[in-house]
Amino acid sequence: MSTVQDLRRGAGDQPITMLTAYDAPTAAIVDQAGIDVILVGDSMGNAVLGYDTTLPVTVAEVESRTAAVSRATEDALVVADMPFLSVGVDMAQSVEHCGQMLKEADANAVKIESGPHTVELTERLTDLGIPVMAHLGLTPQHVNQLGGYARQGTTTEAAKRMLDLAEAHEDAGAFSVVLEHVPANVAEGISGALDIPTIGIGAGPHTDGQVLVLTDVFGLSENSPPFSKQFGDVRTEMESAVAAYREAVESGSFPAAEHSHVADDIEDVY
């Protein structure tokens, strides 16, 4: 069983591995492959719930998906991603929503898209025993503010602001920080300045770990960002399974005798 303290120490010489998962069967696959951390990302909005952005994802959706992932996971650290407006509206409600992920859904930690407004919350949660993974750089819940999903931290001032925020979250007790879509040299600088591990996505090779969205890795996503990489072609497998089923039913070859049962003692009442 991985803990946040294992992660703080780093996964040894090797980079930390993190992937998203949103359901029990895929979580079991990820866990049994030896991935260190499973993030039940609000990327579920785009990846599996059919939304165009992450903004409509609810606390109930993340809680339900996190519970399913936790039930199927033995070793990996399970991190629930706090959806848009589930934190930041007021302190008490934020703490309750985060606590719910540990209490009701058996998560080991929460991830929160970070900003100046999440420093105090991170400290409060850490004090209460709710480990926090911070998230800086591109924070997709700000898509309306940002006007898109552009790379962040591309000026000296912006990189400095990101470093200051990363350090503030480390000081507040965060056990790690995701850096999304930032220049590799900025991610390298921040990784060097922090004691807690950084986990990058679109942030180059110098972070302490890497994360990708599972449907991108599987080749199941309709759209994937330029920094992701497809490692398999699950879509083609799914398409051929469904096509084969349809063909078998339409042609009458399924179900065959071995898929059927005849009850001998039913009288002929038809």
- Summarize the annotated binding site for Mg(2+) as residue ranges: 42, 81, 113
Instruction: Tell me if 164 sits within 8 A of 144, measured CB to CB.
Output: no
Q: How far is the CB of 50 from ligand KIV (least distance, A)?
A: 15
Q: Which of 191, 195, 173 is nearest to 182 (CA)?
A: 191
What does the binding site for ligand KIV look like in residue numbers (CB under 6 A)?
Answer: 20, 39, 41-43, 81, 178, 180, 201, 211, 213
Q: How far is the CB of 202 from ligand KIV (least distance, A)?
A: 9
180 tagged catalytic: yes
- Cβ-closest residue to ligand KIV? 41
Check whether the bond before 255 is cis (ω within 30° of 0): yes
* Active-site residue, selected from the candidate residues 61, 170, 180, 188: 180
Residues placed in the known binding site? 42-43, 81, 111, 113
Q: Which residues pair with 110 in a beta bridge?
A: 80, 132
Q: How far is the CB of 196 from ligand KIV (least distance, A)?
A: 16
Q: How far apart (Å, rounded) are the C-alpha atoms in residues 238 and 247?
A: 14
Q: Nearer Cβ to Na ion, position 31 or 42?
A: 42
Q: How far apart (Å, rounded) are the C-alpha atoms in residues 80 and 38?
A: 9
Q: Nearer Cβ to ligand KIV, position 31 or 180?
A: 180
Instruction: Tell me if 153 sits within 8 A of 162, measured CB to CB.
Output: yes
Active site residues: 180
